[in-house]
A and B are shown apart, each in its own frame.
Chain A
Amino acid sequence: MLEPINVSLASLNLATLAPMLIAIVGALSILLIDMVKEGLHKSLYVMISLLFLLLDLGALVDFAGVFLKNGTVLGFFDVMLMDGIAILSQIIIVGGSMLFIPLALTSKRFHEYNYPEYFALFLFMIAGFQFMVATDNLILIFVGLETASLALYTLIALHNRSKSFEAAVKYFTMGALAAGFYAFGSMILYAISGSVEINQIATVLAEDHYSNIGYVLVSMAFMIAAFGFKLSMVPFHTWTPDVYEGSSAALAGYMSIVPKIAAFVVAMRLFEFLVHSGVVWLQVILYIGVVVTMTASNIWALVQSDVKRMLAYSSISHAGFVMAAILIGTTQANTGLFLYWALFSFTNLGAFTMLWVNRQKNLLPGQSSDHPYEKFSGMVKTMPMAAVMMALFMLSLAGIPPFGLFWGKMYMIGSAVSAGYTVLALIMALNSAIAGYYYLKLIVFMFMKEPMVGYEQFYFMNASLSLKTIIGIAAVGTIFAVFAVNPLLEVITLFVYNSGY
């Protein structure tokens, strides 16, 4: 006869689940509404999603207050872990999602937005990412990761184009491989430490002075591969451009921001304690990975003929740049990671939204892809304001001051300098110079060439008031970023430092 398990409800600290539960309840209520009355307009679902995300954000801000007062909050048999970086990354995840979901309010009709399930899946996915970052339990990370990824594959496929199916299947296959690697890596970690919690694994490993270093390295090899897929590190990046090209521009922009920050946080939890305990092999591999990812993807981006593919490679390069924070591992670097990503999400949001509003339903004869450079040729003559906006986002991505991303770049390079990674700092700087070329290419097309006949009908074809608002928000966030950097830095430093990173 088993003893009855007595767990007081208070010890569970159910509040730690609140943010994810809000998203899940939101998703369920969308499904419920659809059951009661079918065929409702997408605007309703967008607004409902927004409201739930707002509640979610509110709960997170509340947690932020609790964290600053009492420190890390644990819950649910210590599986849930609401520390500073969990809260920060969730705020970026939810905030990013709130900016992206209104992109569904296009003026043209799109297949996927007719399904309420699209929005339900979207909210499930957010809950998945939130679980992923708010724990240091390898199993829950896995569950969160898979929940989110499965939802995301479906969202991509819903775009109903043959390229989207291809993208979804490609992403799914690669994702499954990554999941396998992840499971294998966790298994080895469990085998040598007897725990699935990262901080306990760290303690156990430190106690026996890394006597099992061989096994640790094998598991880390699997983990690097797994996160390499998720973060699209070279050489695990091959799916990225195809998947971005196949998904709608809105979703591609989303994929370049939100899933990556979730993966960064997990990578931070998993790799940094090893880097700090002087596992040289991991340092070397990360160093090589960071440099190769930055440089190679930049070079590939140079030769792209499609803007969306170029942005896909550029986002790989940005991920590599930020990955340097995990290698450097100081508080300043980790702060830089969050700062960079917060600023990046605004700029990239703007860039992808600009593609999204210029989306065309059918390709012109002779047009090979959705957004070839020629499409934007001479845009300053036909739509000056739009060209200026697009140029603004490109300049920001290239790291021209005083636009948003410059401050992130500066702080990241600064953290490399302070940590003694001089060569890395130089490589990061020179990579920004290489990247300058392909961002400039689009500006050259828009500002210095003559308009091409036929394309101007697509300019702002897809625009609606809410999309324009989003572009406006992104532009304001990009131009006036300099005033946001100081408060952001202070808050982020406080959170990161108090979480022990």
Chain B
Amino acid sequence: MIDHILTLLIFFPALAAMLGFVVTKDSMRAYGITVAFIEFVLSLWLWYAYDPMVSGMQFMESMPLIPAFGINYLLGVDGISLFIIILSTFFTLIGIASLTETRRIKDLIITLLFLEMTMVGVFAALDAIVFYVFWELSLVPMLYIIGAWGGPLRIYASIKFFLYTFTGSLVMLVGMLFMAYFYYQATGQWSFSILEWYRLILPENFQLWLFVAFFLGFAIKVPMFPFHTWLPYAHGQAPTIGSVILAAILLKMGTYAFVRFSLPLFPDASVFFMFPIAIIAIIMIIYTAMVAYAQEDIKQVVAYSSVSHMGVIILGTFALNVEGVSGSVFLMLAHGVVSGALFLLVGVIYDRRHTKLMSEFGGLATVMPRYATIFGIMMMASVGLPLTINFVGEFLCLLGFYKQSHMLTLTAGVAIIVGAIYMLAAYKKMFFGTVTNEANKNLKDLSKTEYLGLIPLTIVAIWLGIYPKPVLEPINNSVESVIQLMHDKAQSPEAKARIPDLSGKNGIISIQEAH
């Protein structure tokens, strides 16, 4: 069974969702939690069985799907994707467990389980078309979640979300078809396998064009400035569960795809675009932080801060060295945990007061001390306090990029510190001072259901902040092989110089060899 664990992980929730149509409405939550729990245990088993010393793909599965056009059902995980898969199953479990939604809960849980299938599928796919299938399919459940359970502007928000991402990914599809055609020209055979594409060395001008085509798809998903405008709407209108999954997992698809596609496929183009993208990333960090500071709605603050931190991830990815890329992969996990938790926390107060305006609150720390504590921890984690999970990732990202450019890193670092202001200000407005609003006097502190979601997240946020090694090490191993591959493939002297050569180090098995 362990040989087919990835297929199991992908299709188990989908199958369960289909059977879920039969379950009655009252029992649906228990059913959803059970399924998500089994799935989570399966993903932990995957981690247990995963060999952290091997840097290449593990648990590979292959089945011809459309051999005439080189499309295969090809799955595998390495250190980069392993933890994001676990993060997806973890968040689906937490999301369903702490679900407070009451309207049409059956539809919602079935949709979430389908969404889980697509999320795991994206991170496990090693064939570009299979990746694309799950990538696109993930839009549909999210569209439904935002559109059916969201706020007053939900339809506008959901369509904007869908069309933006859909447009970007269609351009990406053209890019993928180009890659397959280049592969066909080079070898006489069609192939969409990413691992086989890795072997292809493209001329630099083709790399630039293809990089742009892929970039458009990924950048909209991340979302990078200036393609970020769909995200505040989506977050603002989505129900809590939608925002949690969107921030924690769906956005990671974009950054993950950069590491999986853009860097190893187009090393020269990555170096070429390194500084423009770094500048966009820094704009993202500063600009969205400023916008976040101006928000009156706490959920928008969290949403913009989430975009701001995505900028740090991008910066780390385009450091193009082991520290930066490992840091960005780690920060993806950290950002997932922290921003997911923050959205859950916002959901808690929204359920009680049905408003997200910060001016409505004040002095909550006296009324809801436990809530204030967890919110405080997560907020500290979000601004990157040492010994919290975000710090490790942000530090590594900046360290990585420091090797490429001191000035830009310095700017980014300052921006991140200054960015703490808006979080602290928001926290102050909501939690400190005296209770001025009558409606807040008798608010209940966290309930059992809410603890169920928040306690595990708090534990993870602190545990991985203090001791990140069990996660960081497998990531590091896999990232090293990606960087080595990039270095070997790079043609221009600048790329050779910018991407470090790790071949002197021992114990690295390159991706091709493992394959």
Contacts and interface: CB of A to CB of B under 8 A. Distances in A.
Contacts of B132: 401
Contact of A447 (B139, B148, B173): B148
A426 B174 contact: yes
A406 B139 CA distance: 15
B162 interface: yes
Given A401-B132, A410-B129, A444-B159, A436 B166 contact: yes
Contacts of A437: 159, 163
B509 interface: no
Nearest to A380: B107
A40 interface: no
Interface stretch (A75-83, A98-106, A350-358, A483-491): A483-491
Interface string B45-72: 0000000000000000000111111000
Contacts of B162: 436, 440
Interface in B104-140: 107, 129, 132-133, 136-137, 139-140
Contacts of B158: 444, 448
Contacts of A384: 107
A148 interface: no
B144 interface: yes
Contact of A485 (B66, B107, B137): B66
A448 B64 CA distance: 38
Interface stretch (A116-124, A284-292, A411-419): A411-419
B184 interface: yes
20 contacts: A380-B107, A400-B136, A401-B129, A402-B133, A407-B66, A413-B174, A414-B69, A414-B177, A414-B180, A417-B174, A430-B167, A430-B170, A430-B171, A436-B162, A436-B167, A440-B163, A444-B159, A447-B147, A448-B144, A486-B66
Contacts of A448: 144, 147-148, 154-155, 158
Contacts of B170: 429-430, 432-433
A482 B129 CA distance: 11
B181 interface: yes
A490 B139 CA distance: 31
Interface in A429-447: 429-430, 432-433, 436-437, 440, 443-444, 447
Nearest to B66: A486
A417 B181 contact: yes
Interface of B: 64-69, 107, 129, 132-133, 136-137, 139-140, 143-144, 147-148, 154-155, 158-159, 162-163, 166-167, 170-171, 173-174, 177-178, 180-181, 184
Contact of A413 (B159, B163, B177): B177
Contact of B181 (A401, A418, A447, A486): A418
Nearest to A487: B68
B133 A429 contact: no
A493 interface: yes
A138 interface: no
Contacts of A430: 167, 170-171
A395 interface: yes
Contact of B174 (A425, A482, A485): A425
A-B CB proximity, top 6 nearest: A401-B133, A433-B167, A429-B170, A448-B147, A489-B68, A414-B177
Nearest to A482: B65
B289 to A, nearest CB: 31
A395 B171 contact: no
A17 B167 CA distance: 48
Contact of A425 (B133, B154, B177): B177
Nearest to B146: A448
A320 B12 CA distance: 40
B159 A401 contact: no
A369 to B, nearest CB: 22
A425 B173 CA distance: 10
Contacts of B140: 395, 400
B177 A444 contact: no
A410 B173 contact: yes
Count chain B CB atoms within 10 A of each CB in A395, A411, A426, A440 and give the residue with the most: A440
A429 B166 contact: no
Given A402-B133, A410-B177, A448-B158, 18 more contacts: A400-B137, A401-B129, A410-B129, A410-B173, A417-B177, A425-B177, A426-B174, A429-B171, A429-B173, A433-B163, A440-B162, A444-B158, A448-B144, A449-B155, A486-B66, A486-B69, A489-B68, A489-B69
A448 B177 CA distance: 35
A486 B67 contact: yes
Contacts of A418: 181, 184
